[in-house]
Amino acid sequence: MESFGAYLKSLREEKGRTLEEISESTKIAVANLDFLERDRYDFLPPRVFVKGFIKSYVQELGINPEESVKKFDAFTREGEFPDYAEEEHPVFQHLPSTRSFFHNPWFSLVLTGAGILSLCILVFTGVSRLFFAEEAVQVVQPKPLSGQPGSSVSLNTRMPADQRPVQSAFADPPRKQAGKKILEIKALANTWVRVEPDNAGAEELMMAPGDIQVFTANESFQVQTGNAGGMRLRYDGRELPVLGKMNQTLSLTLP
C-alpha cells in the first residue's frame, strides 16, 4: 500500500512544484509540508489541522481536496498509522485510567458529602458577611468642651470588589509599541499555536509551559491553537479570559 506522503509527493512532482513554492502560496511552513510527505504525523499538529494542510496542499496543485482527504482517512485507518485515526492528537492523548481507591463508590460518596458540607459553610459565611460586614467602624472623637456640639466620624474600611487585585498569568507589565497592536501569548502547557498578523505571513510554533511569545500587527491577528485551555492571551495590555478547555482546538480573530 502506497503511503499517503508518497502519494502527495508524486502529485507535487507531476506538477513540477517545490515545497517552497507551495509553502509560499498556502502559508504552511515548509517543515510541516515535509512532515506530510514523510508521514511524520507525530511532529504535526492535531488531525483537524492536518486535514486543513492537505486541502490547501492539493488545491494548490489543482486536485480535488475531498478525494485526497478520503485517501488520508483510509491510510491512517488501515495503513501504518492506525492510532492516528483518532481525532485527538497523540501529544494530547490521556493515559488509560487504572482502578484504585479513588474509584471506589464509597470514596465518591464521602467526597460528595464533604463537598456539600463545604458548600453549606461557604453559603453561611457569605450570608453572615452580607448582614454584618456592612456595619461601619465608628470612631468617636474626644468629649467636646461644654457648650460645643459633639460629633462622630463613620469610616467604611471595605475595599470595593472591582478594586481588589486579580491574579494574572503574566508576571511582567504589558508591552507597548506606538502605532502597533501587541499580542502576548503565554503557554501553561504544551501548546501548538499559529499566529497570522494582518492576514500576512503566518508563524507556527510549539510552546512549552512558561514560554511567552510576543507578536505585533497594524490592525488584527488570526490565532489558531490545538490547546485552548493551555495558553493565556494578553491583547493591547488587556488579559483575555480563559479561551476554552485543555486540548480543545480553537480559531480566534483579534480584535
Q: What is the pLDDT of residues 135-174, one digit of tens each?
A: 544 444 445 444 444 443 333 434 444 444 457 888 889 9
| 221 domain residue, yes or no | yes
CATH of the domain at 81: 1.10.260.40
Weakest mean pLDDT among 26-30, 107-111, 114-118, 204-208: 107-111
**92: closest CA among 192, 169, 186?**
192
pLDDT of residue 84: 54
| 113 domain residue, yes or no | no
| 213 domain residue, yes or no | yes
Span 244-248, average pLDDT: 92
Which amino acid is it at 65?
A: P
The burial class, CB within 10 Å (0-12 / 13-18 / 19+), for 204 is middle
pLDDT of residue 138: 45
Question: Who contacts 37 (Cβ-Cβ below 8 Å, separation ≥6)?
Answer: 5, 6, 8, 9, 12, 19
Weakest mean pLDDT among 64-78, 88-102, 205-219: 88-102
| 76 domain residue, yes or no | yes
pLDDT of residue 120: 82
**How far is residue 104 from each of residues 98, 100, 107, 110, 236, measured CA to CA in Å?**
12, 7, 5, 10, 49
The residue range of the domain holding 66 is 4-92
- Of 45, 60, 92, the residue at which a domain comes to its end is 92
| 146 domain residue, yes or no | no
- Of 92, 127, 155, the residue at which a domain comes to its end is 92
Residue 112 pLDDT > 70, yes or no?
A: yes
| 212 domain residue, yes or no | yes
List, edge to edge, every strand of the sheet that includes 203-207: 203-207, 191-197, 221-225, 250-254
The burial class, CB within 10 Å (0-12 / 13-18 / 19+), for 34 is middle
Q: What is the pTM of this model?
A: 0.38
Give the rounded percent of residues in the chain with a pLDDT score beyond 70: 74
User: pLDDT tier at 205 (50, 70, 90 boundaries)?
Assistant: confident
| 28 domain residue, yes or no | yes
Residue 9 pLDDT > 90, yes or no?
A: yes
Q: Which of 77-86, 128-137, 213-222 has the highest mean pLDDT?
A: 213-222
User: pLDDT tier at 107 (50, 70, 90 boundaries)?
Assistant: confident
| 205 domain residue, yes or no | yes
Count of domains for the chain? 2
